A = this chain, B = another copy of it.
Amino acid sequence: MDIKIGLIGLGTIGSGVAKILKENHEILTAHLGVPLVLKKIADINLEKAKGLNLPHEMLTTRVEDILDDPEIEIVIELIGGCEPARSFLLQAIKQGKHVVTANKALLAQYGEEIFQSTAAHQVDIGFEASVGGGIPIVRAIKEGLAGNQIKSLYGIINGTANYILTEMEKEESPFEEVLQEAQEKGFAEADPTYDIKGIDTAHKLTILVSLAFGTKISLDQVYAEGIDRITPLDLQFARELGYKIKLLALAKDTNGEIEARVHPTMIAQDYLLATVDGVYNAIYVIGDRVGSTMFYGMGAGEEPTASAVVSDVIDIARNIQKNITRRITPTSFCEEYRKEKKIKDINQIIASYYLRFSALDNPGVLSRISGILGEHNISLASVIQKGRQIGESVPIVMMTHEALEQDINNALNKINNLPFVTEKTLLIRVAELD
């Protein structure tokens, strides 16, 4: 018996999925023993269908043609955004259909509602494509590392931000210029807010945290800060200090207390993760037994993301073949064992910091700044001041030892108000991948 699929959303990824199901039909059948049949594609804009050479009767503008078709057992949602994606998914689930989605924004905000609905209706949900594009990271955490207590994870999971930082460093060009180039080349969207502000990364981190630590976490508990204040000068200082700056999604479980944060991060150049450049993604996961692992690949794009979507379809198809559902729960944790763990406030984290002050190059400035830091229990590991231009604004870079973020903030509030400080101090957190 073949297994029939409905696809809602024929955009970039949707086209990729339609192509795989058609062009890799033979190998998919070799895996499953039965054909996967894409029965219906629904989109209000069927523009992309032209290049795909699909039979006319496969296409529809009415989502009901999928949701109400009793033959369709798996519904793939690839329209993105919260509505109407959420309603469509919930309707499909209610109709007893299994669902596959790449929608990280939706899962980060309505994941619990959707997961609960799959439980109520005893259907499966796949969302491998929601994090890390083609990298099978969801499966790796849920299954491959299931014997471990995950201690921490560190992800470069936004290709646009990583591309911009890589280019800024390579070309020594300012953020705005590189962003514009990225937009022209199609590596950044017309509205890049989610990517550059760390919001997309926070969406993905919310999903990863729920898988890695078996806890419920809401998007607003994830601290998110973007890359738009980083300058080529910071990338240069970082290099001199032996670091790379990456937009990192970082999560840790320390005795049941969770840190979950997204921000530009300095990581030592010799970490494997530091060498992940351009549009590539990588997730570094540390388990109590397996130690350090890393999963690397294309984090976005039509075909890599479609590869992940299809892996979920195959997974669900295998359940259909065995006439079972919910062999694994959406997070892999049984509901009764999911814990409400405390999520640490960003002010309570302890880290080392890169601080770039902009101050008039007057005598006593350095001592005044370091004095205030000292008063707030912040000790310095190194100081770089380059070029002397008495009376003009110069950058002063300080690397701190480990300090409480609250102390850093209090100190910076004072320092930023000093008369000779010309610009808000830039702070970049340092991460040790342990």
**Minimal beta-carbon separation of A145 from chain B (angstroms):** 7
Scan residues 184-236 of chain A and give those whose CB is less than 8 A from a CB of chain B: 214
Q: Which of A1-9, A316-324, A397-405 contacts B (4 or more CB under 8 A)?
A: A316-324
Chain B residue, CB-CB nearest to A16: B289
- C-alpha gap A28/B288 in the complex (Å): 13
Q: Which of A282-307 contact B (CB under 8 A)?
A: 287-298, 301, 303-304, 306-307
With a cutoff of 8 Å between Cβ atoms, the chain B residues found around residue A128 in the complex are 144
Asked if A148 and B24 sit within 8 Å, CB to CB, the answer is yes
Residue of B nearest to A33 (CB): B334
Tell me, in angstroms, the Cα distance from A82 to B430 when the chains sit together: 49
Q: How many copies does the complex hold?
A: 2
With both beta carbons as reference points, the residue of chain B lying nearest to A297 in the complex is identified as: B293
In the complex, what distance in Å separates the CA atom of A386 from the CA atom of B322?
A: 66
Query: What residue in chain B is nearest A324 (Cβ atoms)?
Result: B322
- Does A366 belong to the interface (CB within 8 Å)? no
Interface residues of A, count at CB 8 A: 64
Q: How far is the CA of A139 from the CA of B313 in the complex (A)?
A: 16
Residue of A146, A294, A304, A336 contacting most chain B CB atoms (<10 Å)? A146
Verify B147–A140 contact, CB threshold 8 A.
no
User: Does any Cβ of B come within 8 Å of A426's Cβ?
Assistant: no
Set of chain B residues within 8 Å of A301, measured between Cβ atoms = 291
- CB pair A136–B147 under 8 Å, yes or no, is no
26 contacts between A and B (CB under 8 A): A27-B148, A28-B146, A29-B337, A31-B332, A33-B334, A134-B293, A135-B293, A139-B139, A139-B143, A143-B315, A144-B308, A145-B311, A146-B314, A147-B309, A147-B310, A147-B311, A147-B314, A272-B296, A289-B304, A289-B306, A291-B301, A292-B297, A294-B297, A295-B295, A296-B296, A318-B327
